[in-house]
Amino acid sequence: MRVTLFDYGAGNIHSLAKALATASGADVRVQTDPVKALDTDVLVLPGVGAFGAAAARMEPGREQMRQALEQGLPCLGICLGMQLLFESSEEGEGRGLGLFKGRVTRLRAKHVPHIGWNSVEEDSALKGAKLDTVYYAHSFACRAEEPEAVVGWTSHEEDRFPASVRRGKVLGVQFHPEKSSAAGVKFVQAFLREVAP
């Protein structure tokens, strides 16, 4: 199975690539071209960087990427990668893929960023890979306009927001499974097994 990480120049790509390869035994590739990144079995949108810069890197192939995901290409969006699945973000200019309706806004909390271990409530993202506590590192959160797309929730101080969203073979997670110990690795393995061609 080919797993391709779309690199929008944010760093931390290689540790994620290693975690994915370890978790799945897949052939993991890194691609900076958004159209070439679609020549894969599974697309991964990684979780480090700023929305505006990442959206700009994605823009030349944004429509092709959106169409590929709508037509069934499996995708895992992590942290910023999940946010790019939404329409826009107040963090920066540019358009997301718009696969999920809603906007990304700054956390409504006194202490930002939200960094560290926290829970996933009402987790129904994957059968056989339930998550309890996972690792977060973010200052912005997705505000989903379609409650049925939300398959897990979490809270930071008084702000409750989606921990995960799903539509078909597209799964977005606000947390970092690659930093979430054995449970996170099992979560990635379960997703890749579920969407394997």
- Domains identified in the chain and CATH numbers: 2-195 (3.40.50.880)
Which regions of 32-169 does DSSP assign to beta strands (E)? 42-45, 75-78, 88-89, 102-106, 114-119, 133-138, 140-144, 150-156, 159-167
Residues found in the chain: 197
- Give the pLDDT confidence of 65-83 residue by residue, as tens digits: 999 999 999 999 999 999 9
Query: pLDDT confidence of 196, banded at 50, 70, 90?
Result: confident
Q: Which of 75, 79, 114, 156 is catalytic?
A: 79
Is the pLDDT at 11 greater than 70? The verdict is no
- Give the pLDDT confidence of 23-70 residue by residue, as tens digits: 777 899 999 999 999 999 999 999 888 999 999 999 999 999 999 999
Residues near 18 by Cβ (< 8 Å), separated by ≥ 6? none
Q: Residue 12: its pLDDT value, please?
A: 67
Buried b / exposed e along 78-111 (16+ C-beta atoms within 10 A): bbbbbbbbbbbbebbebbbbebbebbbbebeeee
> What pTM, to 2 d.p., does this model score?
0.96
Listed residue (146, 130, 151, 25) closest to 77, CA to CA: 151
Mean pLDDT of 87-102: 97
Is the pLDDT at 129 greater than 80? The verdict is yes
Q: What is the DSSP string of 73-96?
A: --EEEETHHHHTTSSEETTBSS--
Q: Which of 59, 121, 176, 194 is catalytic?
A: 176
Catalytic, 176? Answer yes
Q: Residue 9: its pLDDT value, please?
A: 83
